[in-house]
Amino acid sequence: MKIENYQKPNTKLWTGRISKDKMYLHEKIQCIPLDIKPLKISKEKTFAFLGYQCDEGVLRNQGRIGAFKGPDMIRKMLAPLANHFTDQVELLDVGNIICPTGDLEKTQQETSITIANLLKHQIFPIILGGGHDLAYAHYSGIKRQLPHQTIGIINLDAHFDLRKKVNSANSGTPFYQIASETNNFNYLCLGIQKAANNKELYKTANILNVQYVENTEFTIGNKKEIDLILKKFIESVDYLYLTIDLDGFSSSVAPGVSAPSPTGFLVDIAMDSIHTVCKSNKLISVDIVELNPKYDIDNCTAKLAARLIYNIISFI
């Protein structure tokens, strides 16, 4: 299938201080359009940044739009970071999948195909959202490439995103859609907020045997208990897909999101959990979603997203 809703990487996003020895990420990144065939990897570890420039699902879910600008803002915040990666780590920007006409389903399908293609070429996808409807496309892409493997989903988020699809998909339905299309639904949510999930969503989560830790328990003080939950979940699956919704964080550190919350989790426990997942040797794909630059303050949410990505690459 030809990818029609595609935007080539923009080299102008990758700017910063100039050095003679690739001391900054903007000097290390390679902008490689997806129409370059074949995709080749020449390094021990290759990571590709793919933007999901779409918040149609947020609009459909009656949220505040603006997350479609998230992917490029994350790139801007990654660009000036210091490069401590070895020459055996390759970083690619492969551009954006866009949603110019509101056709969310087509954008999701094309994103799914693109992710599968990256995995096929042994490239680690880091998908930059965009709304959390990305998760349905992302998981579908993994299953295209690994149809017979058990994929565990770990979601750092305030919301289950298990709403039933009534008229059309949106940013609140992705994990219910996934559950409806698989016989082996393995889903762990960290940071769930009671105030942000109604009784029906909790009922659905329990019916689907979703594992979750509420935000009141998702703290660094409960590190040992959370480590045990994570390790048990990791042992039960073949591979892991990590999705990070920035609205799960406290709005004190992440104000620029589609649905901010003052009672979200903090960076310390999130980073500790991400480290555990990355060191499992089972993680094969990551996304980070719901950055809404329109509501950010001094780019602190975008900078948080960039630092999370930076550390994920460092941990793997």
Q: Which residues are annotated as a binding site for Mn(2+)?
A: 132, 157, 159, 161, 245, 247
What count of residues does the chain have? Answer: 316
Q: Around Cβ 51, how many Cβ atoms within 10 Å?
A: 26
Task: For the chain, give the longest Cα–Cα distance.
Answer: 57
Q: For residue 4, give Cα distances in angstroms to 97, 107, 130, 228.
A: 9, 9, 18, 44
Q: Which residues are annotated as a binding site?
A: 132, 157, 159, 161, 245, 247
What phi and psi, each to the nearest 5 degrees, are found at residue 57? -65, -35
Among all chains, which residue has been given the structure tokens 């965009």?
A: 130
* Alpha helices (runs of H) in 87-173, residue ranges in sequence order: 104-120, 134-145
> What's CA 106's distance to the chain center, in Å?
19
Q: Which two tokens stand for residue 312?
A: 């994920």
Among all chains, which residue has been given the structure tokens 């493997």?
A: 149
State which amino acid sits at residue 69: K
